[in-house]
Amino acid sequence: MSKILDLSLELHEGMPTYPSPWHPVVDVKQMGRIDMEARRSYAVTLGSHTGTHMDSPAHMVKNGITIDMIPLETIVGTAKVIDFSNKSRGDKITLEEIKNCGTEIEKGDRLLIKTGWYKEWGSNAYYDRWPWITAEAARYIVDQGAIFVALDIPSPDDPLSDTGYGKHSPIHDIFLQNGVILVEYLNNTLDIDKDVIKLTALPLKVKGCDGFPARVIAEF
C-alpha cells in the first residue's frame, strides 16, 4: 500500500507571509454562525503567494499563462526527488551539484528538490538566507526539459537579492520565462524516502490569477 504525504503548510490567520508590501497578511473572519444564521461560513483574505503555492508564468511574464490555464498533466504525475538536505543557511545549489546529484533530468520531468528548510517555518530564520539555486543550475534544468519544479524554500532566488520592493528575481525569470511551473513552501519533504513519487499539486482555479495556494500531495 502506498503512503500519502501532505506537503502543504497549514493556512491560518496571522501566518507568516513573504516580507514584501505586495503580500497581504491572512485574515479570517467568521460570517455565518450556527446559533444565528443556522450555518457557519467565513470570509478569508489571502494573497496568491500565501503558504504552499504555485507560480504560473504570469507571475513574472507579461501575457504568460495564468494559474487557471496550467494543464493538469503538468501538475499531476510522476516526479523525481532530488535530495539537497545537506544544504544549510545561505548555501547555493550549483550546476555541478545538479549534474552530479544522481538524478537524470529529462524532457517532461517534474522535479521535487528537498532541502529540509521547511523546518525553519514559523521562526525568524525562515526568510533569512534560505538555500537557493544558481542561474547556471536553473538554466540546466530548463535546457534538460523539466516542466515543473517543486521546492521547500520560499524562493529559488538568492535571498540577498530577492526581497524588497521592485527587486528582480532572476531565477524565477529563468523558470517562468521558459514555461516551467513552480511550487514553493513545501512542507514535510524529508519524510519522502523514495527517489520517484507521484506528485499532485492543485491550486484553486482562479481565472486570470498569477498563482494561488495549493494542496500538494506525495504518494510513494
- DSSP class of residue 24 equals P
Quick one: pLDDT at residue 162? 56
pLDDT at 163 over 70: no
Q: pLDDT of 33-47, one tens digit each?
A: 999 999 999 999 999
| 141-145 mean pLDDT | 99
Helix (H) or strand (E) holding 141: helix 135-143
Rounded to an integer, the average pLDDT of 183-191 is: 99
* Stretch 179-193: mean pLDDT: 99
Share of the chain above pLDDT 90, in %: 92
* Sign of CA pseudo-dihedral 172, 176, 180, 182: positive
User: pLDDT class for 82, splitting at 50, 70, 90?
Assistant: very high
152, 187 contact by CB (below 8 A): yes
pLDDT, mean over the chain: 96
Phi then psi dihedrals of residue 59, to 5 deg: -60, -35
Contact assessment for residue 123 and residue 154, using Cβ atoms and an 8 Å cutoff: no
How many angstroms separate the CA atoms of 129 and 111, rounded?
A: 22
- Give dist(CA 78, CA 196) in Å, integer: 7
69 SS3 class: helix
Confidence at residue 93, expressed as pLDDT on a 0 to 100 scale: 99
What's the angle, vertex CA 151, arms to CA 145 and CA 155, rounded to 5?
100
CA gap 200, 68 in Å, rounded = 16
Work out the average pLDDT over 119-134: 96
Q: How confident is the model at residue 11 (pLDDT cuts 50, 70, 90)?
A: very high
Q: Evaluate if residue 73 carries a pLDDT over 80.
A: yes
Q: Please state the rounded mean pLDDT for residues 51-72.
A: 98
* Residue-level pLDDT at 161: 80
Residues 64-81, mean pLDDT to the nearest whole number: 99
| Residue listed under C-alpha cell 506528485 | 199
Amino acid 167: pLDDT: 59
Mean pLDDT confidence for 126-150: 98
Q: How confident is the model at residue 166 (pLDDT cuts 50, 70, 90)?
A: low
Q: Which residues contact 46 (CB under 8 A, 6 or more apart)?
A: 11, 24, 26, 27, 213
Task: Return the pLDDT at 168.
Answer: 78
